[in-house]
Amino acid sequence: MTYLTDDPSDDIAFWSTSEQAAGIRSGMVGSLELMDHLIDRIEKINPELNAVITSDYERARAAASSADEVLARGENLGPLHGVPITVKDALETEGIISTGGATELATNVPNRDAPVVAAVKAAGAIVMAKTNLPRWSGDIQAYNDLFGTTVNPWDVERVPGGSSGGAAAAVAAGLTSFEIGTDIGGSSRFPASFNGIYGHKPSFGIVPSTGYLDHVDGGTTEADVNVIGPLARSAADLDLLLGILARSTPPWVAQLDPPAGDVRQLRVAAWLDDEFCPVDDQVLAVMEAAVGLLEADGVAVDRGARPDLDPAVASSLGAELVVQAIMQSTKSEGIGHRLWLDKHMEREALRARWAEFFTRFDVILMPVAFVPPFPHQQDGNFATRTLMCNGVERPYADVVRWTFLTGMAYLPSSVPPLGLTAGGLPVGLQVVGPYGSDRSTIALAGHIGSLTGGYRRPPLS
């Protein structure tokens, strides 16, 4: 087998999760052999990338050897048999320091796995390391006082997105075939777009979100708006992983619709720009080109259709709800339960308007961020930082306006890689559908990726 080449199709590190699992099952490669290859890559690439922060190689190598022995006996641990992976450090992982990016949890070693970690382990995956994030998953970058700064593998002077920035950078750079991201305001969608990989934000409640460390005593409850979903190098892997991660036991059971038959028959709307949050010209050009390819492939796209809501009002409400959901990490009192119920009622009215829109359309294509990956900014905070867009200085907080618009409504959103800006930076978009239509948004994201070229190997890999 050829491992290290300039062509990702020849290096098993860049194979999809499904392909790596198939390679192990067929005997083409051993689990331990693959793990040692990935560990070697981490040791060579990670000093500059800084995506992987805590390793558990000794236990992981033992588990990989065991997986090889099990396979030799003719047994199979599941669809991810023997596949080595990394896990975002916001998720409790048994026996491995899990910090949420906060100094308060610098020595925290959970005695249990978050349900999503347990699910991929039960399917045969082997956790070898953890990946970087901002403190309490609270930024569109990935840096903290414990582990420093993760860079973007496309341009080390720029952010990999956040909060699942280390996770997405590790997937993009071929250090792991998939990751488990979290997303309350775009924390999976930004990194997917900024690193040129696929990501999926599930419908709220479809995947269990306990075991998520967003404050000192976190992990025991599920926060409003927050979801957990896969990051990968193919849409097929997103679909596979969603099936593994989705709830299968009460009190909530997965309410996933079957995937669309022929994605070319989907009723597609495109909302690529808006005065409530104008989009950078280079980002817009990449999205427009992708929609053009979709239309040329026979998909009818309505570029003027919009849900019957004020996006500025809806996004602002989303911001309020997210702020309340993260109050425990900020040690603030919040607005009180009665006022939250009033905000929730406003949200439900907006969800009804989204639902009405989706009686006429199956999906809508929307921006992830109004800018491409931006230079590292660690001075100031969300309220004081700024970003440049088309020569205009804009508030840093504007970056979440498009993601809040859909996340607060509990909608599924799949992000495919669309290609690069004129400046060589990755761009994705959101494929958004009605609640429970996760498999259809993933399917269309996969089709878009097939038209745009899909995942590309970044320079730092």
Catalytic amino acids? 88, 163, 187
CB-CB contact of 168 with 160 (8 Å): yes
Q: How far is it, in rounded angstroms, from Cα 128 to Cα 86? A: 6
Q: How far is it, in rounded angstroms, from Cα 142 to Cα 22? A: 32
- DSSP track, 177-239: SEEEEEESSSTTHHHHHHHT-EEEEPPTTSS--TTB-SSTTTTSS--SS-EEEEEESSHHHHH
Collapse the DSSP code of 302 into the 3-class scheme (helix H, G, I; strand E, B; otherwise coil) and give the result. Answer: strand
- DSSP track, 113-129: --HHHHHHHHTT-EEEE
Residue with tokens 């909302």: 271
H-helix or E-strand containing 241?
Answer: helix 235-245
Collapse the DSSP code of 71 into the 3-class scheme (helix H, G, I; strand E, B; otherwise coil) and give the result. Answer: helix
Give the pairing of strands 426-432 and 413-415.
Answer: antiparallel
Helix axes 57-72, 31-49, angle to 10 degrees: 150
Q: How far is it, in rounded angstroms, from Cα 404 to Cα 270? A: 17
Give the pairing of strands 301-302 and 268-270.
Answer: parallel
Q: Which of 160, 245, 153 is nearest to 442 (CA)?
A: 245
CB-CB contact of 175 with 51 (8 Å): yes
SS3 content of the chain, % helix, strand, coil (to 5): 40, 15, 45
Cα separation values, 362 from 205, 259, 431, Å: 21, 11, 10
Residue type, 277: C
What's phi and psi for 228, nearest 5 deg? -125, 130
Q: How far is it, in rounded angstroms, from Cα 198 to Cα 417? A: 6
Helix axes 31-49, 17-26, angle to 10 degrees: 150
Estimate to the nearest angstrom the gap between the alpha carbon of 222 and the chain centroid.
18
Q: Which of 118, 119, 229 is nearest to 182 (CA)?
A: 229
Q: How far is it, in rounded angstroms, from Cα 387 to Cα 297? A: 35
8-state DSSP, 420: E
